[in-house]
Amino acid sequence: MEIIIKTDYEAACEEAARIILRAWKKRKSLVLGLATGRTPLGLYEKLISLHKKGEMDFSNVIAFSLDEYFGLDETHPQSFARYMDDHLYRHINIRPENIHRLSGRPAEIEEHCRAYERKIRSVGGIDIQVLGIGKNGHIGFNEPGSSLTSRTRLKSLTRETVEANAPLFKEEGEVPRFSLTMGIGTILESRMILLLASGEDKADAVARAAEGPLTAFVPASVLQLHPQAKCILDEEAASRLALKDYYRWTYENKEKFLARLT
Ligand code: PGA
């Protein structure tokens, strides 16, 4: 796992956008896996701004959502479909047919999940998967204890997740108890993974994921197995890493080395 420590959230998002732009420039196309939540919002703003400045064209970009609440319509204000539309898709020139989502109301759950996996494979796999990290180390809705080889499936939400979401819904009965999520095995097949984390409240999860043992109790620790996983952090999220000076040093040297090549 490559650890990239930036001074603040803004700079971390800038770095993630720079990596995505660089990958897109090589082929003028890209398959992205995209996460929801608070963390990637700054990255999506940067991508929108790249598009508005004419630096990135999304007409050949294909996007897959990482997860969705089970039981919500696409139009529900708390659905991840709505989130992606509001925070990214409606501001860029991605083609509607290139937007792929997990449905919150699939006709047949298992078949829907299998079809999603088939769709990912049919476009050649995900080039870059964007991830956040939960305080408990989850990625997507792969909560602690999830199989490290899991595929896209229905997952129960933890009590903490359900309680944290409750204020966002008008009726208690509306609060989702389940989600559909890409599995950990699915995520690991992406060619590159960008995990973004910001803030002191993520520092413990980040340290356990990057420097702790590989364990299903910290699903993000599985990224230690991935050859191209980059963890982009602000200072607060990096604050509990034992080797943070070393990560800074290697990153600076790498940048200097790459600058000499270009
Ligand atoms: P957050 O969520 O970005 O809203 O903190 C991350 C996650 O739970 O995966």
Predicted confidence pLDDT, tens digits, the chain (262 residues):
999 999 999 999 999 999 999 999 999 999 999 999 999 999 999 999 999 999 999 999 999 999 999 999 999 999 999 999 999 999 999 999 999 999 999 999 999 999 999 999 999 999 999 999 999 999 999 999 999 999 999 999 999 888 888 888 988 888 999 999 999 999 999 999 999 999 999 999 999 999 999 999 999 999 999 999 999 999 999 999 999 999 999 999 988 888 887 6
Catalytic residue among 15, 67, 68, 234: 67
How many angstroms is it from 259 CA to the middle of ligand 1? 33
Q: Cβ(140)–Cβ(66) under 8 Å? A: yes
Q: Which atom of ligand 1 is nearest to the CA of 37?
A: 4
204 an active-site residue?
A: no
93 an active-site residue?
A: no
Ligand 1 site-directed mutation target among 13, 36, 39, 80, most atoms within 8 Å of CB = 39
Q: Cβ(100)–Cβ(67) under 8 Å? A: no
**Predicted model pTM:** 0.96
Q: Label residue 257 exposed, middle or buried (CB < 10 Å: 0-12, 13-18, 19+).
A: exposed
Catalytic residue among 138, 142, 226, 235: 138
